[in-house]
């Protein structure tokens, strides 16, 4: 750090008349050392949350917590785990498929006015509150379709919420494929399809993948869209048109129970713990892929 | 007096005979023998959503029914009575659970029937340091507290009903549910029927005094009240042990007579099994056969408008005082289901629940009381109207 | 998709503009709907809400009244007090945004100018972790862990020292102890800080270094360069962060509903409870399914909430350019 402060030696040369400059340098140094301390304000809540979620969840966390279904005032998390997995798989398939298609098209083919409109819509969609998406799902997929509360309604609602995240990252990934690549492909006589699949897609793919993982992490943690659409089931979902449970729902339904009532609050914390762990793993995956992606791009340019 | 009681007992016994016999006959009758032939060939998941009070009962019933019929699973969800009603109306669930009956005319519009499955009650808790006695409160006093007309625990109206308790000079903090709730429906019904000055109506969600604090869920009520000195809150009886372990005490509530004469201690009832049953038999007496849709609040006091009331009048058994904050827990099912072969199992499940699940073994675990045999009989009769596939 | 296409190697270009690339133009127009999938989804959401509500209610006085009145017996006399919910939303989201913006500025400046690369990267990763934690986990942490501490320790302490300040001396939270404006603001702040930090950091990093070097060469200290030059050049990004953060804070329902208390009132102090539009949508959902009038009002609440969040997201996009701020930062794993 000392090497990065070239103004320090200068301050030793200042005379008594340079009060103004002395003050300016003093402020600079206070800011230099003081501002990074604000990270404590972020790190303290983060570690406090991680500590308490672990402390409340782990002491009674056994294999049965994962392998059994919720029963009465206790039980385990098997059905919610499978439900979350099912919901996220379907929602990722839908939002991933549509998001990548739309993102690729926006970046590669769409005429500028269309692309502008599409990007605006993507950004606006990302800002729609989860609870509003939930009401959309309730009116359209629960009532209008007469499906009732179903896994499918929950997954589609979730996919609407996840779509813009995949879409925007995908759009960006394809847009950042260097123009040279495209010109080179054209010069070599490639068809647009060949260019897309064999040139652009391999370059953009790792970045697209981070977008998909990001969307999965976001979908995984949502509660409001599912409360209004997915129903609830204490046993693993038996099909797309049956109800399902999910981890965030365990937290939301049980967080208020007094400790005396079975171990529902503990179960809620155990579900919260699993959620945090899965999100952490997804985050690490994103970081790893993003890191490799950066290296690959660097290799491309060097 | 004695004659009336004797007639009442005779009527009850007759209904026990009719209802019980009917129940068993129906349950073991042609329907289930038909269904057992298809048993195991197709699996069904019966979905239930609604009242958080019914939820634990369904959690108990479901696995036991599945033991008998492994091809049928019951999946209850704790959402709220409103969701239970609307989901049953739209046909998005097989069973809607609700603390409030659906008006028969509305039910008919949606081809639904009310099928009561249990008797529940609600306790009124308070947080008064140093007072462990069950103080006497009646509907009028509670309505005035929640209307802001009575603001201190040493108010003459409360003190008059509790001559042996020295009530503190402490502000009353009435706590209500912020989320829509069947408990709010029960409590506001009682206020509405008790005091003519009550202006907030009744329902699962009403406007309260703006100064009244709120909590969400029964569990939230317990937590909030235990931290609010001078607070008062209405809490479903399922939470009795939680409230007790939080050091809260519940009140003895006044009958309809207590609303007229609040100082007579004989007009107050503790929520004992006998007292709750007394109120239920008051409200359920002389019902017409068919789908049961009545309020048991204050034993179904005559005179209140808008509420669908029992044809009350039966006097309680000797030594009991009807506990007024009592309610039937309802399920709603379609009489013209889209999937008649599944509906057969929905009906079978409810019939099983009424015939065998309606016992103290199950009910005690969730602090409910079994239905009276008469209601079971009417339920069984109402279930006959449901279209099921042979 | 991955089938090998020997044509790529086999066929030499037949003409300067191969026919495939002419078809490409056609594809450009014919395939336009593909790009508009997000727009279709947005329209579907908006249409589902609009068609389920009672739009005339938005124009009536009872929607905009200042007292909440809902008596199920007289649904036609209902008054929805929407301004109160709006105010509760503005207070919680606004305060959270104020703190989050200040904190994000400090964090983003530290990351771009003052912290060595390895430390900055680790701290940025940790901050991003906050963005990934589900809102319901924030909610249970706030309700079970923080609320008792707030109610029993922090609020009495604040009150005893700061009672002379407006809003700091009022009555304690009357709802579940500790829940209320203060806790909701804290939770919301922690939730939106990663988002605003990433956007501000991104826009600071995009300031051309020539501009900064010019400032330093004129004798400005590093802090003066940051404050007077870099932040000024990056101000659109900061604005984008503010708008986007506000949209996110306004729309958060689950975490806020769990810790905000829930009273329909203008909070007399920072310790007391209030409610927000999003939290109301979650609380009253069950009752609304029972009463048609309540449901109509609720859907209108959802509609106005949708419009507000769309408006702020639109502003954010205007401030940060075509792809929007998150489009840029999300590639970094946020």
Of all helices (H) and strands (E), which one includes residue A275? Answer: helix A264-301
B2-91+328-383: which CATH architecture? 3-Layer(aba) Sandwich (3.40)
Residue C199 has pLDDT above 50, yes or no: yes
Cβ contacts below 8 Å, chain B against chain C, sum to 107
Q: Distances in Å between the alpha carbon of C53 and those of A198, B116, C288, C292?
A: 48, 33, 12, 10
Angle at A294 between CA A291 and CA A297, to 5 degrees: 150
What are C275's two structure tokens?
Answer: 């409610």
- For the whole model, what pTM was predicted? 0.84
State the CB neighbour count (10 A cutoff) for residue B235.
Answer: 26
The residue of B223, B226, B235, B246 whose CB has the most chain C CBs within 10 angstroms, and thus the best one to mutate to test that interface, is: B223
Q: Is A235 helix (H, G, I), strand (E, B) or coil?
A: coil
Sign of CA dihedral B60, B87, B179, A248: positive
For residue B186, give the nearest of B203, B172, B169 by alpha carbon: B203
Whether A260 sits inside 8 A of B79 (CB atoms) is: no
DSSP for residue A60? G
Contact (Cβ atoms closer than 8 angstroms) between residue B173 and residue B230: yes
Give the per-residue pLDDT at A134.
94
pLDDT digits (tens, 9 = 90+) for B201-245: 888 888 887 777 777 778 778 888 888 889 999 998 878 877 888
What are A66's two structure tokens?
Answer: 């994962």
Angle between helices C235-251 and C292-320 (to 10 degrees): 170
Chain C CB contacts of A14 under 8 Å are: none
Q: Distances in Å between the alpha carbon of B162 and those of B48, B97, B247?
A: 44, 38, 21
Give the per-residue pLDDT at A181.
83
Give the per-residue pLDDT at B27.
41
Whether B180 sits inside 8 A of C176 (CB atoms) is: no
CB proximity C285 to B under 8 Å: yes
Give the per-residue pLDDT at B307.
40
Nearest CA in chain C to B225: C176
| Domain edges within chain A | 78-247
Sign of CA dihedral C112, C118, C120, C122: positive
Q: Is A97 helix (H, G, I), strand (E, B) or coil?
A: helix
Whether B80 sits inside 8 A of C175 (CB atoms) is: no
For chain B, what is the radius of gyration of the CA atoms? 21
CA distance C156 to chain A (A): 21
Q: Which of A 118-147 lie inside 8 A of C, CB atoms?
A: 118-133, 135-136, 139-140, 144
Contact (Cβ atoms closer than 8 angstroms) between residue C167 and residue C203: no
Domain with CATH 3.40.190.10 in chain B: 2-91+328-383, 122-269
Gap between the Cα atoms of A296 and A177, Å rounded: 12
Q: How confident is the model at residue C320 (pLDDT cuts 50, 70, 90)?
A: confident
* Of residues B32 and C246, more confidently modeled: C246
Q: What does the DSSP assignment read for C80-140?
A: E-HHHHHHHHHHHHHHHHHHHHHHHHHHHHIIIIIS-HHHHHHHHHHHHHHHHS-HHHHHH
Gap between the Cα atoms of A188 and A180, Å rounded: 12
**Between C132, C278, C312, which is nearest A279 by CB?**
C132
State the CB neighbour count (10 A cutoff) for residue C54.
Answer: 16
* Domain B122-269 of CATH type 3.40.190.10: yes
CA distance B137 to chain C (A): 23
Contact (Cβ atoms closer than 8 angstroms) between residue A212 and residue C126: no
What are B168's two structure tokens?
Answer: 């503190």
Q: What is the CATH number of domain A78-247?
A: 1.10.3720.10
Whether B242 sits inside 8 A of A72 (CB atoms) is: no
Whether A260 sits inside 8 A of B76 (CB atoms) is: no
Whether B205 sits inside 8 A of C287 (CB atoms) is: yes
Gap between the Cα atoms of C94 and C91, Å rounded: 5
What are C232's two structure tokens?
Answer: 């000024």
Chain A CB contacts of B177 under 8 Å are: none
- Residues of A engaging B, defined by a Cβ cutoff of 8 Å: 71-73, 142-143, 146-149, 231-235, 238, 242-243, 253, 256-258, 260-261
Residues present in chain B in total: 390
**Between B202, B206, B228, which is nearest C174 by CB?**
B228
Q: Is B95 helix (H, G, I), strand (E, B) or coil?
A: strand
Q: What does the DSSP assignment read for C130-181?
A: HHHS-HHHHHHIIIIIIHHHIIIIIHHHHHHHHTTSTTTSSPPP-SSTT-SH
CB proximity B214 to C under 8 Å: yes
For chain C, what is the mean pLDDT? Answer: 83
Residue B25 has pLDDT above 80, yes or no: no
**Between B83, B200, B213, which is nearest C263 by CB?**
B213
Residue C14 has pLDDT above 80, yes or no: no
Long-range own/partner contacts, residues A213-216 (CB < 8 A, 24 or more apart):
A213/A282, A213/A285, A213/A286, A213/A289, A214/A165, A214/A166, A214/A169, A214/A282, A214/A286, A214/C330, A214/C333, A214/C334, A215/A92, A215/A95, A215/A96, A215/A99, A215/A162, A215/A163, A215/A165, A215/A166, A216/A88, A216/A92, A216/A162, A216/A282
Chain A CB contacts of B78 under 8 Å are: 232, 253
* Of residues B259 and C82, more confidently modeled: C82
Of all helices (H) and strands (E), which one includes residue A289? Answer: helix A264-301
Gap between the Cα atoms of C243 and C249, Å rounded: 10
List the chains bordering chain B where 3 or more Cβ pairs fall under 8 Å: A, C
Complex-level ipTM: 0.89
CA distance C56 to chain B (A): 23
Residues with Cβ within 8 Å of C312's Cβ and at least 6 positions away in sequence, in order, are: A127, C243, C244, C246, C247, C250
**Between A119, A210, A268, which is nearest C331 by CB?**
A210
Q: How confident is the model at residue C10 (pLDDT cuts 50, 70, 90)?
A: very low
For chain C, what is the radius of gyration of the CA atoms? 25
What are C315's two structure tokens?
Answer: 């502003």
* Of residues C174 and B81, more confidently modeled: B81
Gap between the Cα atoms of B22 and C170, Å rounded: 63
CA distance B30 to chain C (A): 37
Give the per-residue pLDDT at B32.
40
Whether A115 sits inside 8 A of C35 (CB atoms) is: yes
CA distance A116 to chain C (A): 7
Which range in A287-301, B243-257, C294-308 is most confidently predicted, on average pLDDT?
A: C294-308
Gap between the Cα atoms of A146 and A133, Å rounded: 18
Give the per-residue pLDDT at A72.
66
Residues present in chain A in total: 302
CB proximity C69 to B under 8 Å: yes
| Domain edges within chain C | 43-333
Of all helices (H) and strands (E), which one includes residue B231? Answer: strand B231-236
Whether C290 sits inside 8 A of B199 (CB atoms) is: no
Chain A CB contacts of C328 under 8 Å are: 172
Gap between the Cα atoms of A184 and A18, Å rounded: 61
Q: Which of C 214-233 lie inside 8 A of B, CB atoms?
A: none
Which residues of chain A fall short of a pLDDT of 70? 1-17, 72-73, 258-262, 293-302
Chain A CB contacts of C35 under 8 Å are: 102, 105-106, 109-110, 114-115, 118
* Domain C43-333 of CATH type 1.10.8.640: no
Q: What share of chain A is helix, strand, coil (3-state, %, to 5)?
A: 75, 0, 20
CA distance B126 to chain A (A): 17
Chain A CB contacts of C27 under 8 Å are: 109, 192
Sign of CA dihedral C145, C151, C157, C163: positive
What are B356's two structure tokens?
Answer: 């065998």
- Burial label for C90, CB within 10 Å (0-12, 13-18, 19+), is middle
């Amino acid at each position: 750090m000392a090497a990065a402060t070239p103004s320090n030696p200068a301050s030793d040369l200042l005379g008594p008349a340079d009060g103004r400059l002395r003050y300016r340098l003093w402020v600079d140094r206070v800011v230099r050392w003081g501002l990074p301390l604000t990270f404590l304000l972020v790190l303290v809540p983060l570690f406090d949350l991680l500590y308490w979620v672990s402390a409340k969840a782990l002491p009674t966390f056994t294999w049965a917590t994962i392998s059994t279904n919720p029963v009465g005032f206790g039980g385990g998390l098997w059905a919610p785990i499978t439900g979350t997995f099912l919901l996220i798989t379907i929602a990722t398939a839908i939002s991933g498929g549509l998001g990548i298609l739309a993102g690729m098209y926006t970046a590669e083919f769409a005429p500028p006015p269309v692309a502008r409109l599409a990007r605006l819509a993507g950004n606006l969609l990302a800002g729609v509150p989860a609870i509003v998406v939930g009401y959309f799902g309730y009116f359209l997929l629960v009532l209008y379709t007469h499906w009732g509360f179903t896994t499918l309604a929950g997954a589609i609602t979730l996919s609407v919420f996840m779509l813009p995240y995949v879409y925007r990252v995908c759009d960006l990934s394809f847009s950042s494929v260097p123009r040279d690549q495209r010109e080179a492909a054209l010069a070599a006589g490639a068809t647009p399809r060949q260019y897309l699949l064999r040139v652009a897609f391999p370059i953009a793919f790792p970045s697209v993948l981070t977008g998909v993982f990001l969307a999965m992490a976001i979908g995984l943690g949502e509660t409001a869209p599912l409360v209004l659409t997915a129903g609830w089931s204490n046993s693993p979902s038996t099909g797309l048109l049956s109800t399902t449970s999910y981890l965030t729902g365990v937290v939301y339904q049980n967080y208020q129970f007094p400790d005396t009532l079975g171990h529902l609050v503990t179960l809620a914390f155990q579900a919260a713990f699993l959620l945090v762990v899965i999100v952490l793993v997804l985050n690490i995956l994103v970081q790893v892929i993003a890191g490799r992606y950066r290296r690959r791009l660097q290799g491309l340019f060097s | 007096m004695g004659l009336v009681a004797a007639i009442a007992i005779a009527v009850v016994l007759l209904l026990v005979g009719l209802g019980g016999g009917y129940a068993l006959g129906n349950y073991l009758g042609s329907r289930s023998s038909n269904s057992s032939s298809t048993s195991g060939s197709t699996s069904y998941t019966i979905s239930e959503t609604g009242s958080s009070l019914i939820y634990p009962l369904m959690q108990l019933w479901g696995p036991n029914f599945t033991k008998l019929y492994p091809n049928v699973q019951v999946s209850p969800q704790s959402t709220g009575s409103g969701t239970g009603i609307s989901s049953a109306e739209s046909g998005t669930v097989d069973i809607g659970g609700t603390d409030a009956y659906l008006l028969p005319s509305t039910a008919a519009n949606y081809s639904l029937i009310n099928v009561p499955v249990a008797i529940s009650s609600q306790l009124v808790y308070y947080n008064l340091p140093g007072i462990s006695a069950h103080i006497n409160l009646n509907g009028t006093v509670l309505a005035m507290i929640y209307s802001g007309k009575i603001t201190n625990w040493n108010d003459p109206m409360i003190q008059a009903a509790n001559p042996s308790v020295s009530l503190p000079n402490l502000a009353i903090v009435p706590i209500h549910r912020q989320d829509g709730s069947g408990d709010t429906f029960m409590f506001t019904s009682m206020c509405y029927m008790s005091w003519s000055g009550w202006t907030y109506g009744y329902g699962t969600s009403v406007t309260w005094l703006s100064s009244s604090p709120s909590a969400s869920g029964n569990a939230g009520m317990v937590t909030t009240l235990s931290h609010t000195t001078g607070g008062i809150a209405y809490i479903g009886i399922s939470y009795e042990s939680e409230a007790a372990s939080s050091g809260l005490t519940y009140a003895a509530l006044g009958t309809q007579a207590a609303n007229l004469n609040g100082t007579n201690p004989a007009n107050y009832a503790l929520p004992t099994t006998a007292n709750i049953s007394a109120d239920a038999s008051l409200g359920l007496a002389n019902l017409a056969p068919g789908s049961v849709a009545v309020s048991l609040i204050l034993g179904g006091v005559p005179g209140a408008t808008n509420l669908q009331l029992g044809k009350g009048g039966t006097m309680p058994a000797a030594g009991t005082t009807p506990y007024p904050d009592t309610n039937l827990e309802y399920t709603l099912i379609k009489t013209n289901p889209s999937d008649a072969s599944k509906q057969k199992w929905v009906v079978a499940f409810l019939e099983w629940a009424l015939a065998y699940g309606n016992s103290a073994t199950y009910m005690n675990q969730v602090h409910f009381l079994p239905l009276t045999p008469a209601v079971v009989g009417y339920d069984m009769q109402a279930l006959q109207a449901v279209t099921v596939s042979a | 998709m991955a089938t090998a296409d020997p044509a790529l190697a086999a066929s030499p270009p037949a003409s300067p503009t191969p026919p495939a690339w002419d078809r490409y133009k056609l594809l450009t127009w014919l395939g336009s709907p593909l790009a508009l999938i997000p727009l279709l989804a947005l329209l579907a959401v908006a249409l589902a809400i609009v068609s389920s509500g009672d739009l005339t209610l938005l124009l009536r006085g009872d929607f905009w009244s200042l007292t909440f009145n809902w008596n199920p017996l007289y649904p036609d006399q209902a008054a929805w007090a929407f301004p109160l919910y709006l105010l509760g939303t503005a207070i919680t989201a606004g305060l959270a945004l104020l703190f989050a913006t200040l904190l994000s500025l400090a964090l983003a400046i530290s990351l771009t100018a003052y912290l060595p690369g390895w430390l900055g990267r680790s701290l940025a990763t940790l901050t991003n972790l906050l963005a990934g934690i589900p809102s319901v986990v924030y909610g249970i942490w706030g309700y079970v862990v923080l609320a008792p501490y707030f109610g029993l320790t922090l609020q009495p302490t604040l009150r005893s020292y700061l009672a002379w300040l407006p809003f700091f001396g009022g009555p304690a939270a009357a709802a579940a102890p500790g829940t209320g404006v203060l806790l909701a603001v804290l939770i919301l702040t922690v939730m939106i800080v990663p988002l605003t930090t990433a956007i501000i950091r991104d826009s600071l990093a995009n300031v051309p270094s020539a501009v900064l070097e010019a400032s330093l060469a004129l004798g400005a200290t590093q802090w003066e360069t940051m404050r007077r030059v870099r932040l000024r050049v990056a101000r659109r990004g900061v604005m984008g962060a503010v708008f986007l953060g506000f949209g996110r804070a306004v729309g958060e329902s689950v975490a806020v509903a769990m810790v905000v208390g829930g009273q329909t009132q203008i909070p007399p102090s920072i310790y007391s409870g209030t409610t927000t539009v999003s939290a109301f949508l979650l609380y009253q959902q069950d009752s609304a399914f029972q009463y048609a009038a309540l449901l109509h009002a609720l859907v209108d609440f959802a509609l106005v909430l949708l419009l507000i969040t769309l408006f702020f997201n639109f502003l954010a996009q205007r401030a940060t350019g075509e792809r929007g701020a998150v489009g840029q930062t999300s590639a970094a794993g946020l």
